[in-house]
Amino acid sequence: MFKNLKKEDLEITNIIQKEIERQQNGLVMIPSENYASKAVLEAMGTPLSNKYAEGYPHKRYYTGNQFIDEIEDIAIDRAKKLFSAEHANVQPNAGSGANLAVYMATLKPGDTIMGLKLDQGGHLTHGHKVNVSGILYNFIQYGVSKDTELIDMDEVRELALKEKPKMIVTGATAYPRVFNFEAFKKITDEIGAILFADISHFVGLCISGDHPQPFPYADIVMSTTHKTLRGPRSAFILCKESYAKAIDKAIFPGTQGGPMEHIIAAKAVCFKEAGTKKFIEYGHQIVKNAKALAQALMSEGLRLISGGTDNHLMLIDCVPLKITGRQGSEALANCEIYTNRNTIPYDPGSAFEPSGIRLGTPALTTRGMKEKEMEIIGKAIACVLKNINNSDTLRNTQKLVKELTKEYPIYQELDF
């Protein structure tokens, strides 16, 4: 597969090879990561990348787009079917830019938006002050309740009635429970606001029915394609017909130029894969695995934020372990178990030294692991976190990871 690359640039080829091996030989438990299929990877590496296709299918600014149009039409069609959406824009290059386009399509700078607090699970693009969203718009942030660590819909409603936002953003990067879109819709209806669902993290679970579907409640939906959807690194926007024109304009020419048609082809492939029974099974197994993993961690005495999980991810509270999230995630990384440090609600630490570890099951589930492996891995993780400086623990865990990753190969069939 890398025949030509090898000949042209051995230096880069060798590093790519090492990264592939790292992904094979480790337990990828960062909940925003996954393994795209070989079919998706192949679609990305095609000469479609050579083509300029500014505009939309059948309304391009360049000639020679007849085949590109066919591909983008199929991608749009599949995205709409998958989510019962009225309109789809498959051109966004990434989730962050797509969110900015959604704001640009519907609001004016200075308008009030409500989003989940970043340190309680929200995304940077949901109004953090260092992000362009927080700079351009007046973001008011809702949070989780201190006792339950869950979003309290009464509090969201109270804040919404007081602040009268033009839009409410739902969705998160580090919230282990589900979003009740119907309840959010009741609130946005009451104040005449737009309901925007950013389903980037749990999109795969929306498809499998393990998380509520955003439609018909949400007006606009954004999702990345590389997380639980298991596609290329990219994003797309869905919306009701009344927002279609404004959304399309905000993507092109509003915030992007020529679309990445090779990535759009790969998105079409991942939408097709996500429409299969196999993918529905995959979604169910992600959640079953997450529940088994959470149970294993809690049986070892670890505290999870909100006491468990209903989706693909969980957050370990490192405070009782007397370590920071960084120390914990680095100790795990030394055993080739990849997680990330993360803030937890009402974190006593800081954004750089937070007190939580975020981990999840999408990538391990792609490898075919089930509840039995989650129990073993949960025990091993707890052991490492309780003994971060013990070299015996480190060695034993490294050995276990080797065995597990050998038993559940990924990308081995790729001829690199």
Give min distance, CB of 161 to ligand PLP, in A.
25
Backbone angles phi, psi at 68, to 5 degrees: -60, -45
Nearer to ligand PLP by Cβ, of 94 and 191: the residue is: 94
Smallest distance, Å, CB 225 to ligand PLP? 9
Quote the least distance from Cβ 182 to ligand PLP, whole Å: 20
Q: Estimate to the nearest angstrom the gap between the alpha carbon of 67 and the chain centroid.
A: 30
What's the closest the beta carbon of residue 50 comes to ligand PLP, in angstroms?
A: 23
Compare residues 220 and 377 and give the one whose CB is closer to ligand PLP.
220
User: Which CB, 60 or 177, lies closer to ligand PLP?
Assistant: 177
Query: Nearer to ligand PLP by C-beta: 65 or 343?
Result: 343
Distance CA 120, CA 126 (A): 12
Shortest Cβ 311–ligand PLP spacing (Å): 12
Active site residues: 52, 54, 198, 224, 227, 233
- Give Cβ neighbours of residue 264 (< 8 Å, ≥ 6 apart): 48, 71, 72, 75, 90, 91, 234
Closer to ligand PLP at the Cβ: 97 or 307? 97
Instruction: Please report how close the Cβ of residue 235 comes to ligand PLP at its closest, in angstroms.
Output: 6
Query: Please, what is the minimum distance in Å from the beta carbon of residue 92 to ligand PLP?
Result: 9
CA distances from 353 to 91, 276, 335 (A): 36, 41, 21
DSSP state of 151: B
Other C-beta atoms closer than 10 Å to the C-beta of 16 total 15
| Nearest-angstrom CA–CA distance, 378 and 350 | 26
CB atoms within 10 A of CB 206: 25
| 62 alpha-carbon distance from chain centroid | 33
Q: Please give the Cα distance from 264 to 269 (Å, whole number).
A: 9
| Residue 200 or 208 with smaller CB distance to ligand PLP | 200
Closest CB to ligand PLP among residues 91, 224:
224
Nearest to 205 by CA among 251, 158, 157, 274: 274
Torsional sign, CA 44, 95, 175, 76: negative
Strand ranges for 161-312 from DSSP E = 167-170, 194-198, 220-224, 235-239, 303-304
CA-CA-CA-CA torsion sign (173, 177, 181, 185): negative
Q: Which residues bind ligand PLP (CB under 6 A)?
A: 32, 94-96, 99, 123, 125, 171-173, 198, 200-201, 224, 235
Residues 6 or more apart whose CB falls under 8 angstroms from that of 392 comprise none
Residue closest to ligand PLP (Cβ): 95
Structure tokens at 264: 């759009």
